[in-house]
Amino acid sequence: MPAATGHGRRVLALFHEFLNPAELLTNPVTWLLIAFQLWMLVDAIRREEWIWAVCIFFFTTLSALLYYFMVYRQQGPAGGGGLTRGFEFPGAKERRRIRELQGRIHHLDKARDHLDLADIYFSRGRLKDAEASYRASLERDGGDLDAVAHLGQCLLRQARAAEARPLLERVVQTDPRHDYGHTLMALAETQTALGDSNGAFATWQRVLENHGYARARVQFAELLIQRGDRPRAKAELTELISDDLHAPRFQRGRDKTWIRRARTLLARV
């Protein structure tokens, strides 16, 4: 009877701890379970197993445990590599690539390595670091159009359109189709930022002669609305939204911000 009473007390103690979040969070086992659940959640997201991700996020560690045995153990970590690859947080590849480039720059100091490092910084929103690396690349190879164009786009994203314009114009004059039209689009956005709506209008037309980017079509439609050509703007936006319904999944994900903006504009036209 005393033994049973002692066992009952332990159960009550565990139940009391479960009801008391403060005590629960001081238990190291809780943090291990949270870490495991986060591990499985990230893996499910990277694998685009959305139903599993929702279950793991909203329900108990049991969902994470089921996912581990039914998916993770069967297929290995998301992205391949088998069980030898191990768990990897999002962005780990980029962080490794940054360290690799920093090491190469330290030993070799090549313009291309500075440019590659700058592009990673740019993609991560580290614009000041990106600008410094672009300039370092150009100090070593002033004729690299990629470095010139990307520095221009970096300056534009920092609201320094006046500095960006001559760089982008230089690249476009040399290669109007540079970077598959993205440099030309950046020039149009720069012209808009500087109040040169006529220049931007002409540049967007040049972009749309060879490309059907949602980014270009939406901003071109905005200029049409400013010019009072609402019927043409409406037709452009309607066609864009219709095209999006039949676009590949990766493209729809990339363009979703612009499509949302197009729908808002269309409702106002």
- Over residues 13-64, the pLDDT tens digits come to 554 554 455 555 566 767 788 888 888 888 888 877 788 888 888 877 788 8
> Whose CA is closest to 37, among 2, 64, 68, 18?
64
For residue 227, give both structure tokens: 């010019």
Q: What is the pLDDT along the chain (269 residues), one digit of tens a residue?
A: 444 455 555 544 554 554 455 555 566 767 788 888 888 888 888 877 788 888 888 877 788 888 888 777 666 665 544 433 344 445 667 888 999 999 999 999 999 999 999 999 999 899 999 999 999 999 999 999 999 999 999 999 999 999 999 999 999 999 999 999 999 999 999 999 999 999 999 999 999 999 999 999 999 999 999 999 999 999 999 999 999 999 998 899 999 999 999 999 999 98
Helices 230-245 and 249-268 cross at an angle (nearest 10°) of 150
Domain map (residue ranges) of the chain: 9-80, 212-269
What span, in angstroms and rounded, lies between the C-alpha atoms of 157 and 149? 13
- Between helix 161-174 and helix 182-193 the angle, nearest 10°, is 140
Each residue of 143-152: pLDDT tens digit?
A: 999 999 999 9
**Which pairs count as long-range contacts for 130-139, CB under 8 Å and 24+ apart, including other chains?**
130/154, 131/155, 131/158, 137/111, 137/112, 138/111
pLDDT tens digits, residue range 66-79? Answer: 888 877 766 666 55
pLDDT averaged over the chain?
Answer: 85
